[in-house]
Chain A
Amino acid sequence: MFKYVNQPIEKIDGLALVTGEEKYTDDFSFTNMLYVSVLHSGYAYAKIVDIDDSGARKMHGVVEILSYKNVKQILYTTAGQGYPEPSPYDTLLFGKTMRFVGDNVCAVAAESKEIADEALKKIKVTYKELKPILNLAKSEGSPIIIHKDDGAFPKIPVFYDAKKNIASKVEANVGDFDLAFNKSSRKFEYDFYCSYASHCAIEPHASVSYLDGRGRLVIISTTQVPFHVRRIVSHVAEIPVSKIRVIKPRLGGGFGGKQEVLLEPIVAMMTWRTKRPAKLVYSRREVFKSTRCRHEYKTKFSVGYEADGKINALHLDALENSGGYGSHSLTVLANAGSKTLPLLNKIDNLRFTGMGVYTNLPCGGAYRGYGATESYLGYGQVIDMVCNDCNLDIVEYYKKWAIKSGETSPIFQALGEGKEGVAMTIGSTSLVECLDEGAKLSNWYEKKKLYGSNSGFNKGKRLKRGIGMAALMQGSAIPEIDMASAYIKMNDDGSFNLNVGATDLGTGSDTVLAQIASEVLDTPVESFIVYSSDTDFTPFDTGAYASSTTYLSGQAVKKCAEEIKKQILKVGAEMLSLSPDEVELNDSRVTANEQTKEEVSFAEICQYSLYQKNQFQIQAAASHFSQKSPPPFAAHFIEIEVDTFTGIIKVLNYVAAVDCGTPINPVTAEGQAEGAIVNGLAYALFENYYFSPHGKMLNDTFGKYGVYTAFDIPPIKVKLIKSYEETGPFGAKSISEININGALPGIANAFYNATGKRLFNGPFTPEYVLKVLSE
């Protein structure tokens, strides 16, 4: 039994958040600060012939202007990933070629935001417009080349062919797909499509920078990856790493959108040149257009199977739209296969082929789900198709065929992130229990039968009901790549500083990590002063992405706390004139075993160690990297009502049974699941980027884009079903991403149950639904 872990402890920053005390990036201002505005390209594809900024430079209050004319042309990737990054070096902070509407033209720093904005209007840019590629299917091998002679290159040895507009390519083969597909008695092929989407963290991207008293550059930023920011800013702005400090204050959500290094180099360069503080805050429209989004995807599934439902062969072919630059192109693509195909691990012949292509549309990046979301639309439906064709229940099917504890999938080794993957045997899974519990909570068997075509329930009705489900998996951190570390020191009163590089972006990870340390040290969560993250004061962490914080950073904290425990026991024993094996930790004290009832408090121990005898600071640091990425699992059940007159799909009920190992904090874990489900629902039903014929995003406001409000949500029931992951802290795995993947396949399967028709293209807008119904 646990005391502090697996408890619904209030977030340590909770009251500060809801009383408005916490400071976010834009809440920091400095005297003599410059305000920065960025001019973005209005063209999808154009060369800048000239920039005449003389008019702007003459304006009172304009201090500095950055453009290709005075910024060194250094290729980099904006993807905040481990080094060397698996994303191609194809981006310039300010270059001469504009590759999407929203690309950076130049930036102005001025005494006020109003002056900076006004100055942008006075900058005369002469463009030579080029014919763009605005369709991902038309990119590969097009005579229009998006990265032509610009020196773009892959930083790691992977396939890259800019001359053919190919930003990334991945292939994995298990068995012999062709042979098995051809020999199968039943087979089909279907195409699926997933749209663009924006993260819509309510806090827009922002960065503020200043020089400290010793001339070092300090950047406060909305980032999930402070250490990558430090490294990438150093590269782009040619400032030594030792001269840069990156601080992540409170963050107003990220979802992958802030795993990108976009604003930081701009303010860094402004401050470095002018020696003055500089602030850049993107407008919501800039966030939509100019930052990163979910990659647009086309997938094709080819499945060969037998009458008993056994799948002999499955081929997933994915075509990804990277947009103007290849940020996360390769890794999202690889995850489109690696986070789906192992789920049904008994398919002997698997093929995954994927290609990411450049277009002149907005750039993809990291987005919760990271490729898996895009694949599950098709994957979840083709399994449903096989089951329907073979007259099998899909829940029973997953129970029979899904990967079990002690089993593996060759895909784990075949598909890595820019290199070969890591072989892995599944340790923990409660997927079967999730399937059973989800089926029970959603009345699956009764409703499936009731709404099915045989019952006549929906016959002749305008409003047709259906229920669908999907089983899901994701990962927990990137094996053998991601690394996290933690530092703990003890204070006089028995409290502890817990400094972590891990980045709480609103997930509650500061609290979760404190709970893990609490459990090891048997002292309340309030005893921990958690600080995340600051490249000067917190040890390295690759950052908050890939569902890594609880699993990976949590294990670093656990190791670190265990080292502290040893030191506390040693001092406590010394104070009690006993040997360390004669004492134990007990509710913020060290107590003697049975014989005597002597004890010393944590406060006494720390005071002794600091002031009295054999003085030293009780402190420790620990790092952790993982050889596994244990998947969380989930079973989602969705009941819908389709209005066949209007095409509107109304979700009536959403049940998600989720295996995240031990939920360190059940309330924050549920919150992660609920947030992901609602984001997934909105993505499935209407979130999209709509473009003008010239590639300009048209729905670039919250109102036009449409984010779900409280009024839009259906009843949602999240049930966490424990398993115990031996390699995770107190049995924990991840939960942050997986639950965004269920809505697309779940709703589509429910739609089939209701209408007998299939939804192949997301989002399932009323227009699209009516089109499908009329076919």
Chain B
Amino acid sequence: MNGYWMLVLHAHLPFVKHPDYDFFLEEQWLFEAITETYIPLLMNMKKLENEGVYFRLTSSVTPPLAEMLSDPSLQKKYLTYLDRSIELADKELIRTKDDSTFQPVARMYREKLETIRSYYLKDLNSSVLNGYRHFQDKGNLEIITCGSTHGYLPLMNNYKAVRAQVELAAQTHEKHFGKRPEGIWLPECAYHSGLEEVLNDSGIKYFFIDTHGVLFSSPRPKYGSYAPVYTSAGVAAFARDYYSSKQVWSSKEGYPGDVYYRDFYRDIGYDLDYEYIKPYISPDGVRVFTGLKYHRITGEMDFKEVYQPEIAYQKTVSHAAHFVAEREKQVDEIAEIIDRNPLIVSPYDAELYGHWWFEGPDFLLNVFREMNKSNIVKPITPIEYLNKFPTNQIVDLNPSSWGDEGYYKVWLNSGNEWIYRHLHFMSNSMVKIAEEYKDGTDSLKTRFLNQMARELMLCQASDWAFLVTTGTANEYSTARTKEHINNFLRLYTMVSDNHLDSNYLEKLENKNSIFQNINYKLFT
């Protein structure tokens, strides 16, 4: 074996739970991701397991995602969502029964959804996390954590706020996966000097950093981005490989843009007759995605041809073969100039596989099948690698992130800069009040303090600043940010004035229910 390939998927969604509503647009994020990404990935891992293929991958399951996936009310809502999708797929079979062009793609969705439903209920026992735990126990999958609510760590001004994000993440990880995490996906891959100390305090052994975070480190990294480095705290950092990312996403060699792959935007929620589709879109009549998309990318024009599942699948086979061959070439080229087996680290947002790139999960399936035949490159997890190569160079890493241009501007610009004044005030206040009550207090006040910690953490989610920048869910993100600031300040005033409104508290505890076991003393 000449080198190693490390696939890293970052599975994350912000905590979105709206118990007062039957249908809530942003809750659909979770349901779409379960149907399109998490379950298809798990089902393909199952295939690899059954075929006896050697495969290794690393995936974060961020604390808010894990909390949502194990929330009984969201599990119930997901099943309703799935059943309604199946109902629509059934109607589509009838509608297209005399249409030999669209009938095959309608049938493909119907079968796929039924398989997903059966896998979800039988194999997963209604919890996606069961699937992750299964492959963790088998040794195929290394599950890592993230910031407790995906808070943007470099832009926090209080060391204790950073520590609380990391430590609560580790505790929540243990609750869901039975052990404390050894690795972390830093929220937005964002690193700042000194972070390694905090990670080390929580028992984290490694994290990931963008290519230039290692290339611009000091002293110069001996192996470029082809081997991990150690920080002064002894925590290892793995650098993203530039070329394998490029391979998947580049406009020239990139796979997902193939004209035979499914078009993301052409959805029957927008295409079909309004009266017909009305029961399956937003109840207020607004057209939304249904997940049933019948066209392929086709080309640059608006005209789209019908999607042909078989041809698209064959494309994933040839793209996977190409990907593995390219990694073999890369490994051979690097192995000649460095004195150890090169490591290629390929991190992606998990949701890109399946949700965006419909065929992505099959591509990964075929990559592992193909790599199983290779004598040159082999999949590996971070802990396996560090056990094999425990000696690594020590460097000071460069502050960086995986956002546009590689630093912090996506999360700090003239559209979202107003958030930080409040976040800083809140975290400083939290630290102050936690210190005041560090020896404990009565049970009601404890609940107030714990809810303050929840509101702060939910507000810290980098998703809000990100969505403001992209303009995608700007209104919702702004509203969520203001809601948590407002909640926090009201709770803070109530505690300070010793005027505790328990009805108000209960309402918040039910809605913003993340981290049932949170302890405000995290902030001391």
Partners in one complex: no
Which residues of B does A touch, CB under 8 Å? none
Which residues of A does B touch, CB under 8 Å? none
